[in-house]
Structure formats: C-alpha cells, structure tokens
Amino acid sequence: MTIKQLGGVFGRNPTFNDVDVEGSLTINGAVIPSPADTLVSSDIGVTVQGYDAQTAKTDTAQTFTAKQDFDFAAGGNYVATFQNTTDATPYNVWIKDAGSPADGYPLLVVSNSDGSSPYFRVDSGNGDISAGKNIKFLSSGLGIDFSVTAGTGTSELFDDYEEGYVTGITMTPSTSGTITMLAAYTTLSYTKVGRIVTITGNLVTSSSSSPVGTSVAIGTLPFTVAAGDQTAFAAGNSVTYYEGGGVYSSTPIRVTESATAITWLIDASTVSGVKELYINLSYVAA
C-alpha cells in the first residue's frame, strides 16, 4: 500500500490511527517486514542484527569509520558480558589486526580514563604484549607456562618468586656453651626462584661463653628442604669468616631435611669473641 499526500481530503499533514494493511506496506518503495521478521530484544545475540534487502532478519557485520566512544552510567560491575552458552558453538570475542599491519600501533589498550597510563596493551603487527602494572595471579600455583618449548623436565611452570629476610638469627653450639650475636647483624636475605632458595648475608658475633661441639646451628630456614636434596650438602654452601689479622677462612655450611637450622661445620670452641661471618648457601625447597 502506498499513501501519497495530494492535498484535498487528507490535508497537508495527515495523521492515521489504527490502520489495517492488506498485503505489504511500502515506504519510499521499501517493503516493511511482517511481524515475524521484526527485530525484538531476544534477537540481540553475539552479532549485531539488521535487515537485508529482502527485509528478512540477518546478522550484519558492522564497520566503524571513526572512533566510537561507549560511555556507561555507574552502578554495575560490568559494562558488557560475552558468554558462549552453547558448548558446540565456537563463539569468540575477536579483535583482528589490519590486513597489512604496521608495528607499534595499539591493537588493544586498557588504560586510565585519559589514556595516559596504559595498564595492558597489545601492539599491532608484532603482537607484543605490554603490561603497565604488575601481573597478579588470582590463585596459588599459577604462573608462566613454558611448556610450549622443548624440554625433558618434570615441570616448565614458573610459579613462584619471593624475596625476604631471615631475621633474629641466633648461634647455638652443638654440645654446650653460648655464642652471642651483635644485634645489628642478625639478619640474612633470601631469594626464592621456583624451588631454589638462596640465602646470603653478613653476621657478627660479639662474645661467647665456653662453646663446645663439632658444629654451630645458625638460625632457621625460610622454607623446608626438599626430601633427598643433595644440593644441601654441596661444597658451594659456605661461611667465610674473619679470624683476625686480616685473614679470612672458609668452612662448609649445610642444611638438612631433619632439622630447621643451618649447620655450620666448625669446631664451636673456635667461635669465640668477635667473628664476622659471610653466609652463602642454596638449596631446593619442598
């Protein structure tokens, strides 16, 4: 049906209420779709939908020729939610690069309000990923997985890194007597990379009282030693200490599974008066 304004009975600005249309209604030659083809809210799915030339509903690709700003009012946790509700249907949220991308341009950016401080960025062309903030894992045991590279190890997941201090160090002769520490030098530093723990630092004794024994226990370990760890007995674990007269000596130090102490393998009676000790040891944590 076509209605043309010709003046006369309809006047210059006709208004129609409750118009019944038999057949198809056209406006400027375009056919208006039937109710079965009319878009409703439930039609809005994973793509933007519109009408094709035959007026049937269809999924239509959208092309933006200028920057689009989407501003949302406050009050919700999410401004958009994408969910694939059918397991067998491989829907994705896909941001595609240009046909011939140029390196260095941002393909995806998450930033503060004015864009001056990017939090996360994926560059066009080379696909480099940059983080402007720390990367924080939400569950223990997660990390960076290097299993895509060839290897023969039992794990290629880098799931731990930690820095800290072993404070309140004490020294105890294995048999009897006491050794007193200089208060300002009772702390060691440790670094844990994966399962490897390295402990270093400078300790100073201030006095002793009849120390006796074949070894001296030094403080406690920040992490439990792995069962069967042979590196705990390696010669590379040592104490270098000052004996006086500008002479330094080095003796073994070890950690064991059955004890929480670091054991300095030395005649305890020689640890008398003031001693400067430089600790260096590594072991595998459980």
From 73, 91, 109, the end of a domain falls on: 91
The number of distinct structural domains making up the chain is 2
Answer yes or no: is 248 within a domain: yes
Give CA separation, 87 vs 46, 81, 83, 217, in Å.
Answer: 14, 17, 10, 60
* Signed CA dihedral, 16, 20, 22, 27: sign only: positive
Instruction: Give yes or no for a contact between 279 and 269, defined as CB atoms under 8 angstroms apart.
Output: no
Domain identity same for 165 and 280 = yes
From 49, 71, 91, the end of a domain falls on: 91
pTM of structure: 0.69
Domain identity same for 165 and 257 = yes
Domain identity same for 261 and 177 = yes
Answer yes or no: is 46 within a domain: yes
Query: What is the Cα–Cα distance from 84 to 213, expressed in whole angstroms?
Result: 69
pLDDT at 178: 96
Query: pLDDT tens per residue, the chain (286 residues)?
Result: 445 555 555 556 666 666 666 766 776 766 666 556 665 655 554 444 454 444 455 555 667 777 777 777 777 777 777 888 777 777 788 888 888 888 888 899 999 988 899 999 999 999 999 999 999 999 988 999 998 887 788 889 999 999 999 999 999 999 999 999 999 999 999 999 998 999 999 999 999 999 999 999 998 889 988 877 766 666 578 889 876 667 788 888 888 776 778 889 899 998 888 889 999 988 888 8
Question: The domain containing residue 242 runs over which residues?
Answer: 161-284
Q: Which of 1, 45, 46 is nearest to 23 (CA)?
A: 1
Domain identity same for 179 and 266 = yes
Distance of CA 244 to the CA centre of its chain: 50
From 91, 115, 149, the end of a domain falls on: 91
Distance of CA 80 to the CA centre of its chain: 23
Domain identity same for 165 and 87 = no
